[in-house]
Structures are given as structure tokens and as C-alpha cells.
């Protein structure tokens, strides 16, 4: 992993800078959720909650991709359980 050294204004702590960097890298698809959470120093669950607080979507699917996923999860009626046992 690359290391970086920054001089931050006194109003921004190192922890806040790491968090904001992790959020932006996740939002731009440069880091996975787990890697971004590690960078920020949070569990995945806590980082997901932080993303929500900052208005960052946890699941960012293009509409077409989402439609394909939903279509795959809904098999034709002939294959669905009819309720008869």
C-alpha cells in the first residue's frame, strides 16, 4: 500500500481526512466497501451507516443492470412454488 503525508489545516483532523478520502474512493468505485471501511478505520457496518449519513448510496447499480438482476431473481411462473406440497 502506498503511503502519503499531508499537511492539513488545524480544522481537519487526520481521522476526518481519512474518512472523507475513504468515502470518496468508495463513491467513485476505486475501493470496495470493505477496503474503504478499513482505510477509514471502521467496521463495514459502521462505515455503511456513515455512507448513509453522507448521502452516499451503498448500492449503485445502473438502471439496466438492476433490471437484469431483478429479472434473474424472478424465475418464470412455471418454476415457482405453487404452494402445493
CATH architecture of 14-76: Orthogonal Bundle (1.10)
Return the sign of the alpha-carbon dihedral for residues 51, 55, 56, 57.
positive
More confident residue, 7 or 65: 7
Domain boundary assignment for the chain: 14-76
* pLDDT over threshold 60, residue 49: yes
Whole-number Å distance between alpha carbons of 79 and 76: 6
- The answer to which of 7-11, 14-18, 38-42, 65-69 has the lowest mean pLDDT is 65-69
Stretch 19-48: mean pLDDT: 96
18 burial via Cβ count (<10 Å: 0-12, 13-18, 19+)? middle
Amino acid at each position: 500500500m502506498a503511503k502519503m503525508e499531508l499537511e492539513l489545516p488545524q480544522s481537519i483532523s487526520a481521522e476526518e481526512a481519512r474518512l472523507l478520502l475513504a468515502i470518496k474512493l468508495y463513491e467513485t468505485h476505486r475501493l470496495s466497501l470493505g477496503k474503504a471501511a478499513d482505510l477509514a478505520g471502521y467496521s463495514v457496518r459502521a462505515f455503511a451507516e456513515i455512507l448513509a449519513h453522507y448521502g452516499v448510496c451503498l448500492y449503485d447499480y445502473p438502471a439496466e443492470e438492476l433490471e437484469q438482476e431483478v429479472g434473474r431473481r424472478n424465475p418464470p411462473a412455471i418454476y415457482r412454488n405453487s404452494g402445493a406440497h
